[in-house]
Structure 1
Amino acid sequence: MPLTPKIKTSITKSVLCWLATTDGDGQPNVSPKEIFTFWGDDQLIIANIASPQTVKNIRQQPMVAVSFIDILVQKGYQLKGKARIVDKGDTDFAELAAPLEVMTDGKFPFATLTLIKIEQVKPIIAPRYLLYPETTEEQQIRAAREQYGVG
């Protein structure tokens, strides 16, 4: 499923994403990721910096979900799809790693990458927007800044 410019713009506003996996027995795991980017219009690359459980789970069960949210606007997207672990020895590793290495200035080593083929996209929206439809993003940002003590 292609990621629209609107979805890509929203995702780039996220500082972290949350990658959900399950192991072969169905045990869930959610792990924060800070180094990620798009690959074309329907794939996402995530650097595996310190995520042995994530890597192990994807090798057993490749279906994943990734959530992105702008914490002040409290809107974002959940992406679901099939993941593949790309090892350092794989022929496409260097090409896929290049944009992530630029993002990290080479300061975070990663031996594997997660490449996700996006199959589903759904919006994430704070309940306030649903319960109080007149809520604007500006109001939500002000309320979030007050609630979380962000200047």
Structure 2
Amino acid sequence: MTIIDQDMRDIIERAMLAFAATVCEDGSPNLSPKGSVRVYDDQHLVFMDIASPTTIANLRRDPRIEINAIDFFSRRGYRFKGVARFAPPGAPEYEWLNSWLLDINGPGYPANEVVVVEVQRVLPILSPAYTFGGAEQEPLTKSWEERYRTTIAEHELGEPKV
């Protein structure tokens, strides 16, 4: 059964950073950025435990998780809800993700274990520009790309915002 379709895969690829939400022991939320979220197959997302002691402790106690991936330029993405399990070194999921991490970061990159998320539900995330403003994706994407370029250029030049 396919839960993760091609558009979802594309969003995760373009986003390059996702956010994982877990539940702390006291019931409070924990939100942690994850740069290693990848689609493993049609039903699973994976990310590497690189430096996530709170996220990992929370998942060992309560495996429920939500991962949000948003393409900031197109102003849309997905909420992936599911349950987590762990894959240690030697497991297929670990070896697959670790190979990718080493390819982009080089040798010696920390990789403790892989969190494998069985996705049970996916919900879209859409900017109100689509739902209330009647925006179309291509012009909205171009507009936000230009905003980011302008902001980066201003920051690099040290120009104050007006």
Higher RCO (Cα < 8 Å, 6 or more apart): 1
Rounded to whole Å, the distance in 1 between the matches of 2:13 and 2:64 is 23
Alpha-carbon shift at residue 14 of structure 1 (Å):
0.6
The structure-2 alpha-carbon separation of the partners of 1:79 and 1:47, relative to structure 1 and needing over 3 Å to count, comes to same
The structural deviation recorded for 1:40 is 1.6
State the match for 1:16 in structure 2: 17
* Equivalent-residue separation in structure 2 for 1:147 and 1:98 (angstroms): 35
Does 1:125 find its partner at 2:126?
A: yes
Q: What's the counterpart of residue 71 of structure 2?
A: 70
Asked if 1:144 is matched to 2:144, the reply is: yes
SS of 2:109's partner is: coil
Q: Distance in 1 between matches of 2:20 and 2:3?
A: 19
For the pair 1:94 / 2:95, whether they are aligned, the reply is yes
Q: Which residue of 2 aligns with 1:29?
A: 30
After TM superposition, give the deviation of residue 94 of structure 1 in Å.
3.3
Kept after mapping to 2: 8 A contact 1:79/1:119 = yes
Evaluate the alpha carbon distance shift between residue 69 and residue 21 of structure 1 in structure 2; reply closer, same or farther with a 3 A threshold: same
Q: Of Structure 1 and Structure 2, which has the larger fraction of its residues in strand? A: 1
Aligned residue identity for 2:143: A
Q: Which whole-Å CA distance do the structure 2 matches of 1:3 and 1:48 have between them?
A: 22
Residue in 1 that maps onto 2:160? none
Answer whether contact 1:21 1:64 (CA < 8 A) is retained.
yes
Name structure 2 gaps, 5 residues minimum.
Answer: 154-162
Q: Give the CA deviation at 1:91.
A: 4.5
Identify, as 1 or 2, the structure richer in helix. 2
The Cα of 1:78 is off from its aligned counterpart by 0.7
User: How many residue pairs end up in the alignment?
Assistant: 149
Distance 1:139 1:150, change over 3 A: farther
* Identity of matched residues, %: 27
Structure 2 counterpart of 1:60, which letter? R
**Structure 1, unaligned stretches of length 5 or more?**
none
**Which is worse superposed, 3-12 or 135-144?**
135-144
Larger Rg: 2
Shift of 1:107: 4.7
1:50 corresponds to 2:51: yes
Deviation per residue, 1:84-104 (Å, 9 max, x gap) = 13334x645435533343343
